[in-house]
């Protein structure tokens, strides 16, 4: 049985903590010269790609509004 459901951006019941990877990408996006300026996020259906990108977007939006 697949624990993941195609709910596009919702946090699944089983969620892997990707805060380290999210912080690496955010740091890279904030730098002027970084390999993360162009990034491919790929994986199997239901593996959390959209959730991962949503988390990055939400955290970067918070940083912008705090300025």
| The model's pTM | 0.71
Distance of CA 15 to the CA centre of its chain: 12
Q: How far apart are CA 37 and CA 55, in angstroms?
A: 17
Q: Which helix (H) or strand (E) holds 1?
A: none
Please give the share of the chain, as a percent, with pLDDT higher than 70: 78
- At 27-57, the pLDDT tens digits run 998 888 888 778 899 998 878 888 899 999 9
Phi, psi dihedrals of residue 19, rounded to the nearest 5° = -60, -35
Model pLDDT, residue 13: 66
């Amino acid at each position: 049985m697949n624990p993941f459901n195609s709910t596009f951006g919702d946090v699944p019941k089983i969620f892997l903590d990707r805060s380290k990877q999210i912080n690496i990408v955010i740091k890279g996006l904030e730098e002027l010269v970084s390999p993360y300026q162009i990034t491919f996020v790929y994986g199997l259906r239901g593996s959390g790609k959209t959730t991962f990108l949503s988390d990055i977007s939400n955290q970067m939006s918070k940083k912008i509004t705090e300025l």
